[in-house]
Amino acid sequence: MTVLLDTNVLIHAANAASPVYALARQLRDQAVAGTLQACLSPQNLWEFYAVVTNPKRIHPALSAQEALHEVSLYMQAPHLRVLVPQPSSHQRALTLLRRHPVTGKGVFDVYLVATMLDHGVSTIYTENVQDFRRYPEIEVINPFAISTKPSSRSAP
């Protein structure tokens, strides 16, 4: 099973002040090494860069050089797939929007789900469980959850 690492997992892995830093870093390292079959999208990488370099969003913020190093690490990791949206991802996103109407920034989650599905990926590791629960097409797992309730399953 291949999982998509959502942006928040990447952010926690780069932020030593995060309460889930150690686990996020472990997931990140496993993904880069190939012991966790994982992927991400360019959208995740640019969201990551935008957040970790913004001192209003993360403290301490990374420098542009540090953030670029992290992005490059992900892009160059031989075992970590970067899922580039396909021409069919646009149509799939429209179909998903008709099925699961969202507004505002929720549209970016729709596009991420469309990209995942076009690449045969149906599982996402994210803290934003509620944002992705509306899509029965995918399995949503919070890898930082302590509880094993179905709504916030722990990662294996």
Q: Residues 134-154: pLDDT tens digits?
A: 999 999 999 999 644 444 444
Decide: 24 and 144 in contact? Cβ < 8 Å.
yes
Pinpoint the alpha helices (H) of the chain: 7-14, 21-33, 42-52, 64-76, 87-99, 106-118, 129-132
Domain 3-84+121-152 sits in which CATH superfamily?
Answer: 5'-nuclease (3.40.50.1010)
pLDDT band at 26 (very low <50, low <70, confident <90, very high): very high
User: Residue 94 contacts by C-beta under 8 Å, 6 or more apart in sequence?
Assistant: none
CA–CA separation, 123 vs 34, rounded Å?
Answer: 17
Q: Quick one: which of 136, 128, 132, 129 has its CA closest to 111?
A: 132
CA–CA separation, 81 vs 71, rounded Å?
Answer: 13
Phi, psi dihedrals of residue 82, rounded to the nearest 5°: -105, 115
pLDDT of residue 151: 42
- Single pTM value for the model: 0.90
106 C-beta neighbours (distance < 10 Å), count: 13
Region 105-113 average pLDDT:
97
Range with the poorest average pLDDT among 61-70, 71-80, 145-154? 145-154
CA–CA separation, 70 vs 45, rounded Å?
Answer: 9
pLDDT of residue 110: 98
Please check the confidence at residue 72 and state whether its pLDDT lies above 60. yes
